[in-house]
Chain A
Amino acid sequence: MKKYIASRVGYMLFTFLIIATFTFFLMQTLPGSPFNDERLSSTQKEVLNERYGLNEPLSVQYFKYLGNITKGDFGVSFQFDGRSVSSIIGERIGVSAILGAQSLVAGMIIGLFLGIIAALRHNTFIDYGAMVVAVLGLSIPNFVLAGLLQYWVGVRLGWLPVAFWEGFEYSILPTIALAAFVVATMARFMRTEMLDVLGNEYITTARAKGIKEYTVIMKHGLRNAMIPIITILGPLTVSLMTGTLVVEKIFSVPGLGEQFVKSILTNDYPVIMGVTLFYSLLFIIVILIVDILYGVVDPRIRLSGGGRREGK
């Protein structure tokens, strides 16, 4: 197991290097520069380029950049004079993390619940109802849902605030907008997996032991159904991250996503690259966690290599 994790971490770092290289060179191909302002004279531009190291050859810039990353230094923002990218990320990430975690947890709980109920009441109105919710959640884009929520719940009914971030009630609408997709994906997957697992002979065997139906579902059904569910946690987290870009902008939430969009509009290279790398790192870590979780839940994976078939 340790060897497995070590090799996975190795791959992770390699993936990260590739992403860093790609973002760096992609940035270079973007038209324009951060100092596009017509009011700046060419000497002023030169001074600025000199100051931010933009006049050096590309290869030098690249290796300097990589070197700095290893020290956790993503450079200095062009937009906010003298502020390091790390400090910007640090300041903004808290809000995004709360929003993301809230959406993931709420979405998973509701989604799992819907999925299990749908599977247990297969081919009844409860099942169909849950699946209608799931299809709606998948097919309505989050920016549309965000707008609808703002208009109906925020403006027409006046129940909840429509923008900013000044307390828990401010987080409810953006969380719903983000979580809808999670609920839908979870519910659909859980239903399929649960139906599949409940058809297995070991469920009948468990029932034949005379244990309570609740125990059969929770102990024998749920755990086995959860194994494939874990794999979709990775992509789900990513979709949440990209979701925050738009949703934070719509609800004016001062999170990392909102900053990212702003930075793109102002060609603030270091921030764009920094945030991209930060997102990539998060993603890679999520995938690693998912892989490890997989082993924890499924003994067949955990013990492979160590577990050999014995007896005859």
Chain B
Amino acid sequence: MGKILSVDDLHISFDTYDGEVRAVRGVTFDLYKGETLAIVGESGSGKSVMSKSIMGLIPKPSGRVVKGTIKYQNRDITKISNKELRELRGSEVSIIFQDPMTSLNPTMTINNQIMEGILAHQKISKKEAEKKVISLLELVGITNAVDRVKQYPHQFSGGMQQRVVIAMALACNPAILIADEPTTALDVTVQAQVLELLRDIQKKMDTSIIFITHDLGVVANIADRVAVMYAGKVVEIGKTEEVFYNPQHPYTKGLLAAMPDLTIDQEELKTIPGSPPNLLYPPPGDAFSIRNEHALKIDFLHDPPMFKVTETHSAATWLLHEKASNVTKEIEGKQQVKKAISDQMPKKEIGKEKLLEVKELKQHFKGGKNSVIKAVDGVSFDIYEGETFGLVGESGCGKSTTGRTLVRLYDATSGEVYFKGVDIHKKNTLNLNKDIQMIFQDPYSSLNPRWTVADIIAEGMDIHGLYTSKANRMEKVYELLKTVGLAEEHANRYPHEFSGGQRQRIGIARALAVEPKFIIADEPISALDVSIQAQITNLLKKLQKEKNLTYLFIAHDLSMVKYISDRVGVMYQGKLVEVADSNELYDNPLHPYTKSLLSAIPVPDPEVEKKRIRIPKGKWAIDSEDCKLRQITDGHWVACTEDEVDSYRTKSEATALLV
């Protein structure tokens, strides 16, 4: 395999009003022909900026390449003229962005958008170009391409839009394809399809792919090699297996440990404390040292160089220096002891009392003329005191609407919801909101930017009159801040001064303020970085034990749901298709939809990913009148007709025997 691109000591800065933000600080790597190099890192690690610079797409004039070279075919991309750059773009190097919705021009047909790229680089007639567009669309798996080519982006679904974007990027058969989080905005099943498509295309066209992501599962699935970026630097690079099974840099180790393992029961996730540094003032030495509890003295002073582990694997940490070998062993020893302690933590207890009963809940919305959107269409489940009930499904399946209907943000179309035996639709909403609270997905838009943190947290207490005096109010706010891991002095600040993870902690404190019994967490971690997700998940688990809370945990990230939930319900098109204990559901899924969903989740283990076989969505009688949730084995419910029950039972017994 020959080198196709080499980046050497690349520095990129952005000039802002506050000063120079050093987004990329000395990145060096090579890309080989036909390989997929994954670049992993949290938001702000510089991975996107670095990849855009390969196409000369850094926003100017604020952004600039300070130093370094990007060599492609004996030319330095950082120094060539605009005209040469234009010739390169689209024909030699292409890019796919995260959100297909925003990367397509809403006012142009698909045909015109793909064609203009072809016409810019190839001297062919419009007719020929049009033929090429159709064959490209067929290549990326769009059926009926001849008709669909005349359509506009909004007439395609998210997954199809991303296929169009991929077709657009492939238009001139580029040597390098940069995929900037191409599946982050998509559902797991669609993500699996897009990943397969990319792999397929790579095989056919021998394209080199730079795949940028924060999802280690996706990396394990698609990458040949991995580069881990932190604070504008590559801290570790190597073959996928090497990085996953023999990580060297403490940051890589932390990231891998923070992912919940689907195969075993864990009481607590390992977390990386703190948050990434501000690149306006990059710290001296190893930027990760402030978050590394085992950091050496030298980490704070000098930047570690890249140490070679094997021919293909190297990492930038002083731990690999020959003088540090003793320290490495010591740290490993400490971690072993810690693990043993955490394994002895007591398990929480779940009550037998039903806290919430949902019966045949329906929530329909009026669509356009005469059409009704059945967002939630007959959902029934119970939640017991002290348990965590997970609700999973693809976007648009009705999981969030269910949560919102439970706190009466919407008034249910029909069905009953009992909270501690009382129908919530007969209850005063004020009392209801004291018992049931919500945590929202987006920690940025769910906090009022013009209120102080203290006021945000205390609003619920204000409404319900839960304090005796002003001093008492502040006392309670301080206590809540401490409970969620923030400090007293944070009370008088405004939301914009906090990072995403901290904001989500504020959101949790707000929910806790009225001392609720039941919390609905609507995708509380999906907007956060991996290392922060683990922190918040652990916090939620800890609070549940301390305050005997009951959770409804809504998410699309199935691995987190499995980790945090006691029981899980799977939703599809407004209906629950399967409910079971979380372990039972993952080990022994019965419903065809659950099976296909589970088979689509990538896990951060390259060996497992190699063997992955995706199960396509099967068929089942969802429209049948008789299709209801029926108990197959103890506590395991599947939506099926009367006739199907027996076949499910035999299947379930068969797998039980196998295990």
- Stretch from A13-21, A27-35, A174-182, A292-300 contacting the other chain: A292-300
Q: Which residues of A contact B157 (CB under 8 A)?
A: 309-312
> B118-156 CB contact bits vs A (8 Å, 1 = yes)?
001100000000000000000000110000100110111
- The complex places the Cα of A311 from the Cα of B105 at a distance, in Å, of 19
Assess A307 versus B107: contact at CB under 8 Å? Given A204-B97, A208-B90, A210-B117.
Answer: no
Q: Are B105 and A208 in contact (CB under 8 A)?
A: no
Q: How many residues of A contact B (CB 8 A)?
A: 32
Q: Which of the residues B95, B143, B154, B160 comes within 8 Å of A307, measured between beta carbons? A: B154
Does B94 contact A208, Cβ atoms closer than 8 Å? yes
A209 at the interface (CB under 8 A from B): yes
Task: Report B-chain residues with C-beta under 8 Å of the C-beta of A304.
Answer: 368
CB contacts (< 8 Å) of A299 on chain B: these are 106-107, 152, 154
Chain B positions within 8 Å of A307 at CB level: 151-152, 154-155
Asked if B159 is at the interface of the complex by the 8 Å CB criterion, the answer is: yes
- On whether the beta carbons of A300 and B121 are closer than 8 Å, the reply is no
Which of A201, A206, A298, A308 is within 8 Å of B102, CB to CB? A201
Instruction: Give CA–CA (A259, B151) in the complex, Å.
Output: 52
Given the known inter-chain contacts A307-B152, A309-B156, A312-B159, please indicate yes or no for A208 contacting B102, CB distance below 8 A.
no
Enumerate chain B interface residues (CB-CB to A < 8 A): 52, 55, 57, 82, 86-91, 94-95, 97-99, 102-108, 116-117, 120-121, 142-143, 148, 151-152, 154-157, 159-160, 165, 168-169, 171, 190, 368-369
Contact of B116 with A209 in the complex, beta carbons under 8 Å: yes
* Neighbour of B120 across the interface among A202, A211, A305, A308, CB < 8 A: A211
Give the 7 A-B CB pairs with smallest separation, nearest first.
A210-B90, A210-B89, A209-B117, A209-B90, A201-B102, A299-B152, A201-B103
Contact with B along A177-216 (1 / 0, CB 8 A): 0000000000000000000000011101111111111010
**Interface set of A (CB-CB < 8 Å, partner B):** 200-202, 204-213, 215, 219-220, 223-224, 227, 297-300, 303-305, 307-312
Q: 17 A-B contacts, Cβ less than 8 Å apart? A: A201-B99, A207-B57, A208-B89, A208-B90, A208-B169, A209-B116, A211-B86, A211-B116, A212-B86, A213-B82, A219-B116, A297-B107, A298-B106, A300-B152, A303-B155, A309-B157, A311-B143
B83 CB to nearest chain A CB (Å) = 9
A148: min CB distance to chain B, Å: 38
Bound Cα distance from A305 to B369, whole angstroms: 9
Question: Is B168 a contact partner of A209 (Cβ separation < 8 A)?
Answer: yes
- Residues B91 and A210 in contact, CB atoms below 8 Å apart: yes
Given the known inter-chain contacts A202-B103, A300-B106, please indicate yes or no for A208 contacting B155, CB distance below 8 A.
no
A-chain residues with CB within 8 Å of residue B369 when the two chains form the complex = 305
B155 lies within 8 A of A309 (CB):
yes
Cβ-defined partner of B121 (8 Å) among A201, A210, A219: A210
Which residue from chain A places its CB closest to the CB of B92 in the assembled complex? A210
**Smallest CB-CB separation from A3: which chain B residue?**
B369
CA–CA, A200 and B99, complex, Å: 11
Partner of A205, one of B82, B103, B121, B159: B103
Tell me the bound Cα distance from A205 to B106 in angstroms: 13
Alpha-carbon gap, A219 to B95, bound state (A): 20
Known: A208-B95, A210-B88, A307-B154. A200 touches B160 (CB 8 A): no
Report Cα–Cα, A304/B154, bound state, in Å: 10
A201 to B103, CA, bound (A): 5
**Within 8 Å CB of B160, what residues of A?**
310-312
* Complex: A20 Cα to B151 Cα, angstroms: 44
State the Cβ distance, B561 to closest chain A Cβ, in Å. Answer: 23
Q: Given A300-B154, A307-B154, is A208 in contact with B106 using a C-beta cutoff of 8 Å? A: no
Chain A residues with CB under 8 Å of B168's CB are 205, 209
- In the complex, which of the residues A206, A210, A308 contacts B105, with contact meaning CB atoms closer than 8 Å? A206
Distance in angstroms from A200 CB to nearest chain B CB is 6
Contacts known (A211-B116, A299-B154, A311-B160); A205 close to B89, Cβ less than 8 A:
no
- On chain B, the residues within 8 Å of A206 by CB distance are 105, 116
